[in-house]
């Protein structure tokens, strides 16, 4: 897989650290049920997914990468800050 | 069911092996069953077999979207062992090992169970201490474990790279009763024995939805081969648990990941048992056909592709080269991928779900094969009695909310690190 880093260009996925699904958002409060869902429950989609990848061997920026879990095809990436590739 | 025997084999040999009957009935779905199992892998078939054999429930169907032996049951690296440390795991995997030891007689099927030993190598003093602790925990549960010094490891496997500058071999933890089994024969054996007890094995029937009553209880499944009503429905669909659970409106603490496995060309006997590299993630055994069967880490990103990428191939082969440089002379014959249910603590789930009538066996990460007999036994116990089996009582779905995690590797809620 190659990931189109908005800062470094197209780079091998081996340069990145994978975190996982970018959809869960940390809840504002500390309500137990919401924290449980955020920490542990996942949609685990089959097909397109937005994920967090960290460009550890490059610009050291966190990216949101759109990828297909059935084909591994990468559709695009933008930085968590918002710059599109 | 005609019993297989040496006499029968000889008699069939005299007639050119014509006249062998199919091992199990290719059943068409009935309108209703007492229990429907979704997923015809090893776990699903074992569950159906023990429901019929142990609990006397014979109106059971196994609904499989493909064919028997076409999923993870035929994609694993065939290792069986019970060398676990944590209290929730140790009794369960030992129960599985005990079932493996009697499996072929129980099923009248040659599953090629071979207790050739599982050797975990330690490469630092700290790791040796950790293995001593693990071995002691196993022995306290009545499981065989032996801490080997370097000379004893050398006698078992003289070809290892003992003096690797970064990862010298310091010790080994041997479970002599561990070993390998022929993976798809396990499936076929359970399918044949379950079918003989009246279980309907329905192949090429994908589940497309859940039937629920007005109160929200699950009362059957919609499949591509029609509607099937059921008193209870059990999910046993490793790799795709999230998809099937979503049909019932459930979200699970599971991500799907791809795990690759590899086999070399056939070689003369060289690897005595199962050997694992403790400094990376690499495990290897030799099949009875001669191929070196090995694997390592999952690729690390969510996937349903049943194939992995080259960086992991390279990583696994580097582990092999560090451990036994002679492997570089072997040619790789095939590699493939299977989809794993990776849970948030690296341990499985055998439990009821919040929906009445729906039961879950999932989250086996990449340890599902060795668990096949006990997972079937315990899931059947849960389905039949509505109470968890004593060896699987820790595998609760709500442990993530209550904090009773079973994190054998100590990695936290990050499935790709387990």
- Domain annotation covers residue B295: no
Residue A83, pLDDT above cutoff 60: no
Q: Which of A19, A36, A72 sits opposite B305 (nearest CB)?
A: A72
- Which residues in chain B have Cβ-Cβ distances shorter than 8 Å to A41? 251-253
* B337 touching A (Cβ < 8 Å): no
Query: The domain containing residue A20 runs over which residues?
Result: 2-79
Mean pLDDT of B257-282: 96
User: Are the beta carbons of B34 and B300 closer than 8 angstroms?
Assistant: no
CB contact under 8 A, A44 and B401: no
Predicted pLDDT at B19: 86
> Is A21 domain-assigned?
yes
Q: How confident is the model at residue B242 (pLDDT cuts 50, 70, 90)?
A: very high
Say if CB B152 and CB B172 are below 8 A apart.
Answer: yes
Count of beta carbons in the 10 Å neighbourhood of residue B196: 19
The CATH number linked to A37 is 3.30.2270.10
Average pLDDT over residues B143-158: 97
**Residue B359: its pLDDT value, please?**
98
For residue B352, being part of any structural domain is answered with yes
In a domain, B159, yes or no: no
For B278-304, write each residue's pLDDT tens digit: 999 999 999 999 999 999 999 999 999
Chain A residues in contact with B302 (beta carbon < 8 A): 20-21, 44, 49, 51, 69
Chain B nearest-CA distance from A82, in A, is 22
On the question of pLDDT at A84 being above 70, the answer is: no
The stretch B38-66 carries a mean pLDDT of 98
Say which DSSP state B20 is in.
P
- pLDDT at B248 exceeding the cut of 90: yes
Q: Do A20 and B400 touch (CB under 8 A)?
A: no
Judged by CB atoms closer than 8 Å, whether chains meet at B413 and A14 is answered as no
Q: How confident is the model over B376-401, as pLDDT tens digits?
A: 999 999 999 999 999 999 999 999 99
Cβ–Cβ below 8 Å for B302 and A37? no
Indicate the Cα dihedral angle B364, B370, B374, B376, nearest 10°: 60
pLDDT, tens digit, for every residue of A44-81?
A: 999 999 999 999 999 999 999 999 999 999 999 999 97
Question: Is B243 among the domain residues?
Answer: yes
- When CB atoms are compared, the residue of A13, A51, A71 closest to B305 is A71
Distance from CA of B296 to the nearest CA of A (A): 16
Q: Phi first, then psi: what are they for B268, rounded to 5°?
A: -65, 160
Which chain B residue is nearest to residue A21, measuring alpha carbons?
A: B302
Read off the pLDDT of each residue in B4-13 and give the average, rounded to a whole number. 94
Q: Is B146 part of any domain?
A: no
**Whether A36 and B304 lie within 8 Å, measured CB to CB:** no
Which one, of B258, B216, B223, B265, lies nearest residue B240 by Cα? Answer: B258
pTM, full prediction: 0.96
Question: Would you say residue B286 lies in a domain?
Answer: no
Contacts of B341 (CB under 8 A, 6+ apart): B238, B239, B241, B242, B254, B256, B362, B363, B364, B365
Q: Which helix (H) or strand (E) holds B237?
A: none
Give the nearest chain A residue to B402 (CA atoms): A36
Query: Rounded to a whole number, what is the largest CA-CA distance in chain B?
Result: 68
Residue A18 in domain: yes
Beta strands (DSSP E) in B127-253 are: 146-148, 171-175, 179-180, 200-202, 207-212, 218-223, 226-235
Residues of chain A contacting residue B252, judged by C-beta atoms under 8 Å apart? 41-42, 44
Average pLDDT over residues B265-276: 96
CA distance A72 to chain B (A): 7
User: In this complex, is the C-beta atom of A38 within 8 Å of any C-beta atom belonging to chain B?
Assistant: no
What are the pLDDT digits (tens) for B406-418? 999 989 899 999 9
ipTM for this prediction: 0.94
Q: Does B202 reach chain A within 8 Å, measured CB to CB?
A: no
Instruction: Provide the number of structural domains found in chain A.
Output: 1
How large is the average pLDDT for residues B366-375?
A: 96
Element (H, E) at B321: helix B310-323
Tokens of B114: 């071979």
Q: Name the residue in chain A with its Cα closest to that of B252.
A: A41
CATH number at residue B189: 3.50.50.60
The pLDDT tens digits for B163-185 are 999 999 999 999 999 999 999 99
Q: Which residue of A has its CA nearest to B254?
A: A42
Q: For residue B30, what are the domain limits?
A: 25-82+84-109+183-253+345-417
| pLDDT at residue A81, rounded to an integer | 78
Which H helix or E strand runs over B71?
none
pLDDT band at residue A25 using 50, 70 and 90 as cut-offs: very high
The pLDDT of residue B1: 80
| Whether A18 and B251 lie within 8 Å, measured CB to CB | no
Q: How many domains does chain B have?
A: 1
Report, as an integer, the average pLDDT of B67-75. 93
Q: How many other CB atoms are found less than 10 A from the CB of residue B42?
A: 32
E strand or H helix that includes residue B310:
helix B310-323
- Does residue A82 surpass a pLDDT of 90? no
Residue B362 CA to residue A42 CA, distance in Å, equals 14
Interface mutation vs chain A, best among B401, B407, B414, B417, most A CBs within 10 Å: B401
Contact B413 A39 (CB under 8 A): yes
Tell me whether residue A85 is in a domain.
Answer: no
Q: What is the pLDDT of residues B41-52, one digit of tens each?
A: 999 999 999 999
- Nearest residue of B to residue A49, measured between CA atoms: B302
């Amino acid at each position: 897989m190659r990931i189109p880093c908005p800062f470094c260009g197209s780079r091998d996925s081996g340069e990145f650290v994978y975190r996982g699904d970018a959809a869960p958002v940390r809840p504002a409060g500390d309500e137990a049920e919401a924290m449980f869902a955020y920490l542990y429950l996942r949609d685990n989609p089959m097909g397109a997914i937005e994920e967090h990848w960290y460009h550890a061997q490059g610009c050291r920026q966190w990216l949101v990468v759109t990828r297909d879990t059935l084909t591994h095809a990468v559709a695009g990436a933008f930085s968590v800050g918002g710059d599109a590739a | 069911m005609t019993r297989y025997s040496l006499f029968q084999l000889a008699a069939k040999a005299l007639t050119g092996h014509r006249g062998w009957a199919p091992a199990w009935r290719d059943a068409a779905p009935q309108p209703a069953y007492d229990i429907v199992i979704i997923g015809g892998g090893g776990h699903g078939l074992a569950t159906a077999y023990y429901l019929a054999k142990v609990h006397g429930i014979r109106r059971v169907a196994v609904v499989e979207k493909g064919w028997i032996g076409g999923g993870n049951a035929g994609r694993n690296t065939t290792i069986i062992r019970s060398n676990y440390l944590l209290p929730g795991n140790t009794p369960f995997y030992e129960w599985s090992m005990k079932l493996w030891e009697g499996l072929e007689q129980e099923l009248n099927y040659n599953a090629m169970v071979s207790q050739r030993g599982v050797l975990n190598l330690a490469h630092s003093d700290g790791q040796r201490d950790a293995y001593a602790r693990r071995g002691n925990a196993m022995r306290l549960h009545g499981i065989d474990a032996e801490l080997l010094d370097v000379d004893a490891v050398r006698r078992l496997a003289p070809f290892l790279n003992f003096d690797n500058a970064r990862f010298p071999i310091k010790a080994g933890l041997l479970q002599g009763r561990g070993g390998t089994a022929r993976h798809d024969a396990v499936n076929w054996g359970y399918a044949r024995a379950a079918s003989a007890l009246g279980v309907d094995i329905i192949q090429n029937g994908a589940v497309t939805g859940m039937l629920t009553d007005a109160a929200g209880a699950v009362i059957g499944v919609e499949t591509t081969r029609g509607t099937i009503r059921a008193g209870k429905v059990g999910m046993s669909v490793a790799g795709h648990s999230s998809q099937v659970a979503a049909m019932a409106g459930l979200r699970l603490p599971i991500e799907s990941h791809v795990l690759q496995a590899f086999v070399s060309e056939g070689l003369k006997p060289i690897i005595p048992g199962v050997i694992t590299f403790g400094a990376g993630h690499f495990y290897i055994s030799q099949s009875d056909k001669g191929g070196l069967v090995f694997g390592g880490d999952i690729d690390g990103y969510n996937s349903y592709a049943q194939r992995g990428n080259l960086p992991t191939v390279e990583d696994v082969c580097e582990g092999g080269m560090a451990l036994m440089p002679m492997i570089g002379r072997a040619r790789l014959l095939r590699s493939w991928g299977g989809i794993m249910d990776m849970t948030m603590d690296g341990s499985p789930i055998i439990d009821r779900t919040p929906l009445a009538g729906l039961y879950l066996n999932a989250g086996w990460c990449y340890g599902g094969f060795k668990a096949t007999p006990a997972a079937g036994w315990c899931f059947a116990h849960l389905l039949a009695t509505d109470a968890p089996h004593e060896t699987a009582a820790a595998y609760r779905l709500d442990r993530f909310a209550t904090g009773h995690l079973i994190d054998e590797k100590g990695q936290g809620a990050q499935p790709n690190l387990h």
